[in-house]
């Protein structure tokens, strides 16, 4: 039980959202600590946006509890649902929602005016917010004349203008081009740090989530797949879905060899006879197990390396040049594995080589 | 400790019930009386009816000619309107015809030249004996009449020219909603332009065109002006003019008129039902989704042929009728080759002195302004409930509010006349009943327009306001209203013009204190010379045109301010 | 508007005016009628209306069958004499006017002040339904008893209109021109004849009278010509003048005069067998909202001024029945024409349904 002083900034318990016969969010619980960014990550339709909008007050959940800074915003059992306009949070929309009939200044000032702030105080806050996003020079410009990136900054300024403690982001960068996106990621992160706000961030972009978040909640079909830090999620995926969604992974299943396995290590034999040793990461295993091998953790060498575990001869099937990495498809036993490496070793199709992987980097998946 | 909150669901539910009830009363009440009169086989002149039965419908069989006439004229008019609409929409959206923008604006003018005016003008042009065209024909050596506007084809022609301008707007929207890359794919595969049109374009626009056809057919069924002016003198009756005749006769045959009204209503209802199924899958907006920029085909020298086609439509529907009216109104006795002594301004002098013109004009403009303003507010409110709120029962409300579309205006007014006669409120014969009639009858028009605008309004703009802490009224004032303004202005204008040009409903409900322009012109035509009527019609057109120009000036300034 | 002196040559039949004799009860001498009202003289006529009250009422509503320009000119002339009283009108063809008024009254609405019908049986019907309010005008002494209601005070015969045949001289060869009623049955008039609709009072009279003269077959034969029916004489003459129709079978003399003034080449024929005539009947409605104004208007209508207006106004050009009325424009008096009108009102009214049915069918509805 947490006391009021260390209460999480955002707390969601057993949230479920149903539209008629469609369940958007089944049973979701998570909490974000103050000053942190928690990202809801997942493919479209996984329920992340619905969850965000429920926290904002724009959707009415079916059941559960939502608390912000210890105060209940929604409580299904008690019949409590505070409308969005009284929750005191701030939101950046995917489409920016910049009001085209107002100037940039007026857009940013909107929330302040609603709070009856006026005069010099108002213009100070607005200018401050605009400077934060480097849009100070555009204050008197008509908002409909801005480019996409500029609108996004204004949306950000508007969200920050009245100094909220909680910021909600609904895929704010998805409409920008790749270069701009990576720049804005960093800026956003800086901004949050500086303001000390708690952020609930929704995206389907993996890189974004990994780069910006303190905590990632991976969602699929209305349920949480995994909840952890970026490193945790990347290095120790819980399920096959997470393994393949967060980075690229090869999934290898096989029968457990109990005499070679213990509480830290698990050894499996695949159907075509390959033996593989992996780390359990404290997870239980039964008769069969699936291991996740990240493509970037697999190593190809032309000569037989030293070592005992996880070394196999393979045949090169195909190489694909992707710029920063080269993707190599290898035949391993009866199936294909994908290797990604930055080293521009030249492998030609048909060539034989050796594949090795550190057992610590073969992660046992749950379930 | 969380506070207990009274669920707003119940209050919303109650509000919805009230709103639906109010709208339903205005919409369905006249229909009820229509049906009551249609099944009345009891003593004449006694209300409520003393006996009910199907006799009136049996009597309809005696008037098969009228029913057949109606169908013939409606089919012909719909076909012609579709041809006009399709050809002009094609030319203006898909080809590089010169002066495209000018034509696009001119294409809406026939809508403002009321069908009554058009019918009057074409009667002056095409009457078999006295029509100007025929006079010229005979002077040029022809015999008999080149054109007889009093035939079903003639009536359909006039209907299609003026009431079919809607077809152009709808088909043009359909053309613009077609993705051009679909045609590009066909041409890349090697198909010729013609083949592409035949196998790709036409099948793609077919559903939309079919929808437009159904809609136009429904509108034509209720058409009144052309048949009144052109058909009645030739003893050619359609259902609407027959109803009017029955009501004005002595003694009036109300139950028979009601039975005819019901049969017309049934057909129209079916048509609109079909329309909704085909086009909108239950929704009433005609176009959904993105508007593309369609590919423009280079036509070479054919451009000028296209130009000629568009120009002749404008000439036939605007220039020729207005010119004829001017020509006619300036003569003592209108002939094709007047002597100099035949010209006079007397008709205009007289027109201005007749009470009916002066007060009717002021009444019309005032009433139109009020109906437009109240109508816009009302339909905006309804549109918001139907589209943006989450109140239960929205679908029912939409259905009820759009119901008047399925009733021909004259029939609806007949029901209203019959209904409000027994209400002790001093509504019958005054402005109020006209106002109520206009508001009810134009509700679908306003709802369609404003819903279209609301659809384009990004929901997140309002949600953002919510999250910023603004209450519903604050958001309405600062976000929704300013963004809706262009749409609201457009709806206002549409309802304004529709009120001024309205004939079928007004002619039955007009009272001595509440004379309005278009029916007043018809009344004048019944009891005075055609030259005088022409003068009155021109005065009406000039006044409307002046108001429209003024309005466009004003709203253009509003639009400049960054809305 | 200048007076028309353009009267065509035609044979003038000098017989007495055969007017309908309203079944007389004992005609009470005027003085014996109890007059509780004070009679004053205003302008050049006497009235028993309270003028001050009338002006306080400020307006009245006139229901009439006449043409709009015609009604408007009557009300204009009245308001020139009494500027403080504004007259408004409702115009409808006789039958439509009657049914509308009855419908309103049966629903409890009483909006009309003065009502004018275009022939007597409609007025009698209205009287039977207690539609009139009784007011004995001091002007009544200027009218013969047969031209007033029985009992006096419900309505009076405000004017007489009569109709012959008119044809377009451009379209009709002189040898084909009709000379008497049976000539309108000739096949050359197929699709080229016009008449009024069944709601017209005048038309009812013509149907009745010619049926009496020539038998029921007359109209059956006429129906074969597929004539066209219209609402007002202005329309009939408009079409005649423009050549859309060749003959007008219900050609009111008043309408002919007006159209001729405009320079149309049309001719008027007064058939030797007589011309159907309909008196126009005017009275104050029961429960009129503006009773004093209505009474003043009635007195004005009955006075020499009002009657002169009925005769001289080109939209009216009717004949007056006032004993001391001046000649009509052109110098003729009503007594100069042979006129036909129903004498047995009850028999006349009884044929109304038959007329409606036959006439509507003849015109296509």
pLDDT tens digits for range C155-203: 999 988 889 999 999 888 988 899 999 999 999 999 899 999 887 888 8
Q: Which residue in B66, B356, B526 is closest to C232 by CB distance?
A: B526
Helix (H) or strand (E) holding B14: helix B8-38
- List the single residue in A79, A91, A115 with the smallest CB-CB distance to B464: A91
Neighbours of C51 (CB within 10 A): 18
Q: What is the pLDDT of residue B191?
A: 79
State the pLDDT confidence band at C249, using cuts at 50, 70 and 90.
very high
Distance CA B271, CA B406 (A): 8
The residue of B260, B522, B527, B531 whose CB has the most chain C CBs within 10 angstroms, and thus the best one to mutate to test that interface, is B527
**Tokens 């002169």 map to which residue?**
C308
- For residue B430, the model assigns a pLDDT of 80
- Report the 10 Å Cβ neighbour count for B473: 8
A90 three-state secondary structure: strand
Q: Which residues contact B352 (CB under 8 A, 6 or more apart)?
A: B358, B539
| pTM for this entry | 0.74
- The pLDDT tens digits for A290-322 are 999 999 999 888 888 888 788 998 999 988 888
Who among B3, B464, B474 is closest to A97 (CB)?
B464
Q: Does C283 or B187 have the greater pLDDT score? A: C283
Tell me, yes or no, if A231 comes closer than 8 A to chain B by beta carbon: no
**Using H for helix, E for strand and C for coil, what is the string for B317-384?**
HHHHHHHHHHHHHCECCCCCCCCHHHECCHHHHHHHHCHHHHHHHHHHHHHHHHHHHHHHHHHHHHHH
Residue B381 has a pLDDT of: 83
Q: Do residues A168 and A89 lie in contact, with contact meaning Cβ atoms separated by under 8 Å? A: yes
Return the residue in A68, A92, A94, A114 with the most chain B beta carbons within 10 A, the one to mutate for interface testing. Answer: A114
The burial class, CB within 10 Å (0-12 / 13-18 / 19+), for C183 is: middle
Q: What is the ipTM of this complex?
A: 0.81
Candidate from C72, C92, C171 with C-beta closest to B355: C72
Q: Scanning every residue of chain B, which has its alpha carbon at the shortest distance from the alpha carbon of C263? A: B333
Polymer length in residues for chain C: 365
- What is residue A43's DSSP assignment? S
Asked if the Cβ–Cβ distance from B460 to A115 is below 8 Å, we say: no
- Cross-chain Cβ contact A90/B471 below 8 Å: no
Taking CB atoms and an 8 Å limit, are B467 and A100 in contact across chains? no
- Which chains border B (3 or more CB–CB pairs < 8 Å)? A, C
Query: Are C107 and B422 an interchain contact pair (Cβ–Cβ within 8 Å)?
Result: yes
A56 and B CB contact within 8 Å: yes
- Residue A34 main-chain phi, psi, to 5 deg: -65, 140
Mark out the alpha helices in B140-282 (DSSP H runs): 152-163, 165-176, 180-188, 193-196, 202-221, 225-226, 239-248, 254-275
Q: What is the mean pLDDT of residues C107-132?
A: 88
Question: What is the structure's pLDDT at C25?
Answer: 30
Closest CA relative to residue A27, chosen from A44, A2, A7, A51:
A51
Q: Give partners of C (≥3 CB pairs < 8 A).
A: B
Give dist(CA A208, CA C50) in Å, integer: 95
Radius of gyration of chain C (CA): 20
In this complex, is the C-beta atom of A41 within 8 Å of any C-beta atom belonging to chain B? no
What pLDDT score does C93 carry?
Answer: 79
pLDDT at B20: 82
Choose from B456, B463, B468, B489 for mutation: most chain A CBs within 10 A. Answer: B468
Q: Distance between CA C271 and CA C11 in Å, rounded?
A: 9
pLDDT in tens, chain B (563 residues): 344 444 556 676 777 788 788 888 888 888 888 888 888 887 766 667 778 888 888 888 888 888 899 999 999 999 999 998 888 888 888 888 888 888 888 887 887 777 888 898 998 888 888 888 888 888 888 777 788 888 899 999 999 988 778 888 888 888 877 777 777 787 778 777 778 778 877 887 887 788 888 888 888 888 888 899 898 888 889 999 998 888 877 677 888 888 888 888 888 888 777 777 776 554 433 334 455 666 777 777 888 888 888 889 889 888 888 898 898 888 877 777 777 777 888 888 877 766 557 778 888 889 999 999 999 988 888 887 887 777 777 778 888 888 888 788 888 888 888 777 777 676 767 888 889 899 998 988 888 888 877 877 778 888 999 999 888 888 888 988 888 887 888 888 888 888 888 888 888 888 767 788 888 888 777 777 788 888 888 887 888 888 888 887 877 765 544 33
Structure tokens at C314: 């080109």
* Domains of chain C listed by start with CATH number: 2-160+278-340 (3.40.190.10), 162-276+345-362 (3.40.190.10)
Nearest residue of A to residue B561, measured between CA atoms: A101
Sorted by sequence, the CB contacts under 8 Å of residue B192 that are 6+ apart come out as: none
Of A101, A114, A168, Cβ closest to residue B468? A114
Contacts of A49 in chain B (CB under 8 A): none
Instruction: Looking at chain C, list the stretches that DSSP marks H as alpha helix, in order from N- to C-terminal side.
Output: 51-57, 68-81, 94-106, 120-128, 201-214, 217-223, 233-242, 253-261, 291-302, 304-312, 345-350, 352-363
Residue A327 — φ and ψ, nearest 5°? -105, 125
Q: Which residues pair with A339 in a beta bridge?
A: A328
Cβ of B482 within 8 Å of Cβ of A88? The answer is no
CA distance C316 to chain B (A): 12
Contact B251 C239 (CB under 8 A): no
Return the sign of the alpha-carbon dihedral for residues C110, C116, C118, C124.
Answer: positive
Per-residue pLDDT reduced to its tens digit, A115-141: 888 889 998 999 998 988 888 898 888
pLDDT above 80: residue C35: no
Mean pLDDT of A38-58: 92
The 3 state secondary structure assigned to B41-104 is CCCCCCCCCCCECCHHHHHHHHHHHHHHHHHHHHHHHHHHHHHHHHHHHHHHHHECCCCHHHHH
Handedness of CA B30, B36, B40, B44 (dihedral sign): negative
* C chain contacts of residue B252, beta-carbon cutoff 8 Å: 96, 99, 103
CA distance B512 to chain C (A): 5
Q: Do B130 and C243 touch (CB under 8 A)?
A: yes
Nearest chain A CA: its distance from B470 CA (Å): 6
Determine the average pLDDT of the residues in A72-94: 90
Taking the CA of residue A80 and the nearest CA in chain B, the distance in Å comes to 6
Cβ distance of A99 and B5 shorter than 8 Å: no
A140-180 pLDDT, tens digit each: 888 888 888 888 889 999 998 888 889 999 998 888 888 88
**Backbone phi, then psi, for C62, in 5-degree steps?**
-110, 115
Average pLDDT of span C357-361: 88
Look at residue B339 in the predicted model and tell me its pLDDT. 76
The answer to whether A55 touches B420, Cβ cutoff 8 Å, is: no
**Would you state the structure tokens that stand for residue B282, as one six-digit string?**
């239950």
| Model confidence band, residue C1 (pLDDT cutoffs 50, 70, 90) | very low
pLDDT of res. B180: 75
Chain A interface mutation, best of B453, B464, B561, highest count of A Cβ atoms under 10 Å: B464
pLDDT, residue B557, reads: 64
């Amino acid at each position: 039980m947490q006391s009021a002083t260390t209460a999480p900034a955002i707390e969601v318990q057993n949230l479920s959202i149903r539209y008629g016969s469609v369940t958007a969010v089944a049973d979701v619980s998570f909490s974000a600590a103050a000053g942190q960014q928690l990202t809801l990550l997942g493919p479209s339709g996984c329920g992340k946006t619905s969850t965000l909008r429920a926290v904002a007050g724009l959707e009415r959940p079916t059941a559960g509890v939502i608390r912000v800074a210890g105060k209940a915003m929604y409580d299904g059992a008690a019949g409590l649902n505070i409308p969005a306009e009284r929750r005191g949070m701030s939101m950046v929309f995917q489409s920016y929602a910049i009001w085209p009939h107002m100037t940039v200044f007026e857009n940013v000032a909107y929330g302040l005016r609603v709070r009856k702030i006026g005069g010099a105080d108002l213009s100070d806050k607005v200018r401050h917010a605009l400077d934060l996003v480097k849009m100070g020079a555009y204050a008197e410009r008509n908002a409909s004349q801005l480019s996409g990136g500029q609108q996004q900054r204004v949306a950000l300024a508007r969200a920050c203008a009245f100094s909220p403690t909680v910021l909600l982001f609904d895929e704010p960068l998805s409409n920008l081009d790749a270069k701009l996106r990576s720049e804005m990621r960093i800026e956003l992160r800086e901004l949050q740090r500086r303001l000390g706000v708690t952020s609930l961030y929704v995206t389907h972009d993996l890189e974004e989530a990994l780069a910006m978040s303190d905590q990632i909640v991976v969602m699929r079909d209305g349920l949480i797949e995994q909840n952890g830090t970026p490193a945790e999620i990347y290095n120790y995926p819980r399920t096959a879905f997470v393994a393949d969604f967060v980075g690229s992974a090869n999934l290898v299943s096989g029968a457990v060899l109990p005499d070679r396995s213990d509480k830290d290590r698990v050894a499996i034999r695949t159907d075509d006879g390959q033996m593989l040793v992996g780390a359990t990461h404290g997870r239980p295993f039964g008769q069969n197990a699936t291991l996740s091998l990240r493509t970037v953790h697999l190593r190809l060498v032309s000569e037989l390396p030293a070592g005992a575990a996880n070394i196999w001869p393979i045949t090169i099937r195909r190489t694909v040049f992707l710029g920063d990495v080269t993707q190599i498809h290898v035949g391993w036993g009866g199936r294909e594995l994908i290797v990604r490496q930055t080293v521009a070793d030249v492998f030609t199709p048909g060539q034989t080589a050796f594949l090795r992987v550190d057992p610590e980097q073969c992660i046992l998946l749950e379930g | 400790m969380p506070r207990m909150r009274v669920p707003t669901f119940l209050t919303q539910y109650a509000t919805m019930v009230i709103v639906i009830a109010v709208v339903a009363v205005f919409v369905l009440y006249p229909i009820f009386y229509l049906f009551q009169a249609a099944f009345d086989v009891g003593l004449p002149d006694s209300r409520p009816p003393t006996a009910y039965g199907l006799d009136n419908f049996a009597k309809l069989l005696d008037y098969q000619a009228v029913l057949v006439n109606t169908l013939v004229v409606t089919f012909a008019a719909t076909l012609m309107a579709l041809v006009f609409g399709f050809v002009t929409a094609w030319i203006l959206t898909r080809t590089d015809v010169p002066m495209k923008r000018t034509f696009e604006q001119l294409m809406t003018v026939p809508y403002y030249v009321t069908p009554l005016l058009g019918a009057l003008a074409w009667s002056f042009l095409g009457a078999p004996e006295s029509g100007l065209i025929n006079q010229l024909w005979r002077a040029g050596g022809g015999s008999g009449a080149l054109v007889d506007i009093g035939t079903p084809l003639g009536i359909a022609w006039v209907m299609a020219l003026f009431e079919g301008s809607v077809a152009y707007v709808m088909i043009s929207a359909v053309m613009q909603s077609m993705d051009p890359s679909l045609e590009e794919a066909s041409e890349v595969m090697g198909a010729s332009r013609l083949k592409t049109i035949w196998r790709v374009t036409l099948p793609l626009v077919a559903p939309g065109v079919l929808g437009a056809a159904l809609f136009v057919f429904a509108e034509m069924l209720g058409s009144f002006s052309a048949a009144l002016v052109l058909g009645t003198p030739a003893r050619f009756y359609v259902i609407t003019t027959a109803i009017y005749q029955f009501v004005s006769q002595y003694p009036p045959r109300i139950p028979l008129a009601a039975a005819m009204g019901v049969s017309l209503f049934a057909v129209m209802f079916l048509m609109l039902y079909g329309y909704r199924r085909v086009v909108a899958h239950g929704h009433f907006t005609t176009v959904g989704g993105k508007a593309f920029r369609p590919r423009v085909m280079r036509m070479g020298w054919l451009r000028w042929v296209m130009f000629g086609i568009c120009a002749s439509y404008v000439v036939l529907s605007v220039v020729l009728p207005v010119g004829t009216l001017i020509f006619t109104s300036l003569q003592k006795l209108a002939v094709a080759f007047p002597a100099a002594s035949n010209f006079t301004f007397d008709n205009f002098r007289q027109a201005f002195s007749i009470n009916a013109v002066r007060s009717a004009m002021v009444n019309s403009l005032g009433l139109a302004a009020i109906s437009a303003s109240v109508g816009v507010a009302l339909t905006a409110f309804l549109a918001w409930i139907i589209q943006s709120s989450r109140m239960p029962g929205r679908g029912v409300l939409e259905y009820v509010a759009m119901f008047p579309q399925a009733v021909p205006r004259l029939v609806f007014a007949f029901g209203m006349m019959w209904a409000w006669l027994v209400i002790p409120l001093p509504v019958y014969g005054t402005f109020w009943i006209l106002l109520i009639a206009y508001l009810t009858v134009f509700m679908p028009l306003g709802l369609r327009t404003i819903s279209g605008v609301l659809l384009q309004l990004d929901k997140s703009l309002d949600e953002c306001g919510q999250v910023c802490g603004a209450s519903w009224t604050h958001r309405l004032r600062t976000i929704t209203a300013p963004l809706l303004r262009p749409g609201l202005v457009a709806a206002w204008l549409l309802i304004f013009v529709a009120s001024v040009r309205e004939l079928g409903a007004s002619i039955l409900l007009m009272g001595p204190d509440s004379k309005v322009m278009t029916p007043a012109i018809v009344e004048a035509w019944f009891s005075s010379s055609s030259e005088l009527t022409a003068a009155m019609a021109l005065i009406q057109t000039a006044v409307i045109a002046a108001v429209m120009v003024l309005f466009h000036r004003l709203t253009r300034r509003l639009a400049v301010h960054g809305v | 508007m200048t007076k028309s002196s353009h009267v065509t040559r035609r044979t003038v039949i000098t017989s007495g005016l055969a007017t309908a004799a309203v079944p007389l009860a004992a005609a009470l001498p005027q003085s014996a009628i109890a007059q509780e009202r004070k009679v004053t003289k205003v302008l050049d006529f006497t009235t028993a209306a309270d003028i001050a009250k009338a002006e306080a009422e400020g307006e009245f509503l006139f229901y009439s069958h006449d043409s709009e320009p015609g009604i408007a000119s009557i009300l204009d002339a009245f308001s020139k004499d009494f500027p403080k009283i504004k007259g408004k009108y409702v115009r409808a063809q006789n039958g439509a006017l009657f049914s509308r008024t009855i419908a309103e009254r049966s629903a409890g609405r009483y909006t009309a002040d003065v009502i004018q019908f275009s022939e007597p049986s409609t007025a009698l019907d209205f009287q039977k339904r207690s539609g009139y309010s009784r007011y004995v005008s001091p002007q009544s002494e200027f009218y013969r008893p047969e031209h007033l209601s029985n009992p006096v005070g419900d309505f009076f015969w405000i004017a007489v209109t009569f109709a012959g045949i008119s044809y377009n001289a451009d379209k009709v060869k002189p040898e084909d021109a009709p000379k008497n009623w049976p000539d309108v049955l000739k096949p050359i008039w197929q699709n080229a004849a016009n008449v009024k609709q069944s709601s017209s009072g005048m038309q009812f009279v013509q149907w009745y009278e010619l049926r009496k003269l020539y038998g029921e077959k007359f109209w059956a034969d006429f129906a074969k010509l597929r004539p066209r029916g219209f609402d007002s004489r202005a329309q009939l003459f408009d079409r005649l003048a423009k050549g859309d129709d060749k003959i007008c079978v219900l050609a009111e003399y008043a309408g002919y005069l007006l159209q001729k003034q405009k320079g149309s080449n049309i001719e008027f024929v007064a058939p030797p067998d007589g011309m159907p005539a309909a008196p126009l009947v005017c009275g104050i409605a029961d429960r009129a909202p503006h009773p004093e104004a209505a009474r003043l208007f009635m007195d004005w209508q009955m006075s020499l001024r009002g009657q002169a207006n009925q005769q001289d106004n080109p939209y009216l050009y009717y004949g007056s029945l006032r004993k001391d009325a001046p000649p009509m424009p052109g110098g003729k008096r009503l007594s100069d024409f042979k006129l036909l009108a129903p004498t047995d009102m009850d028999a006349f009214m009884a044929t109304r349904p038959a007329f409606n049915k036959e006439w509507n069918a003849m015109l296509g509805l």
